[in-house]
Amino acid sequence: MWASAKSRICVPGPADQRETHRIVYKLKRGADPTCVVRPIEDMCERNGANGWIAGCTEFHLVAKAIASAVDGFGVVDPLSTLAKAAASPEGLDLLAERMAMSASG
């Protein structure tokens, strides 16, 4: 799956990874999620990205703020995506199947 997606996904360099950690810890300390919209937007601009994957549980808190604050900017929130999928009848069946598999070892 990565082979088909890697040309469309950029991995931030070391400086932006440090900035990402700084943002995460700022959110963990209770910062207003909207205060990190601009830094995330700036990182995406530096990396030539027109969207962002909220790949950290703390970023789930800011995904809606970013999506509503920046017009035309794509935000993928994996937690919301998985929750919506799990809530569908097929998703609930798959979730039950996976839980049974993990419980059986």
- Taking only the tens place, the pLDDT of each residue in 73-91 is 778 888 888 888 878 888 7
Q: Torsion angle of alpha carbons 9, 13, 16, 17, nearest 10°?
A: 90
On whether the pTM is more than 0.85, the answer is no
Helix (H, G, I), strand (E, B), or coil: what is residue 94?
helix
Q: Which of 8, 13, 5 is nearest to 49 (CA)?
A: 8
- Is the model's pLDDT at 105 over the cut of 80? no
- Is the model's pLDDT at 13 over the cut of 80? yes
| 75, containing H or E segment | strand 74-76
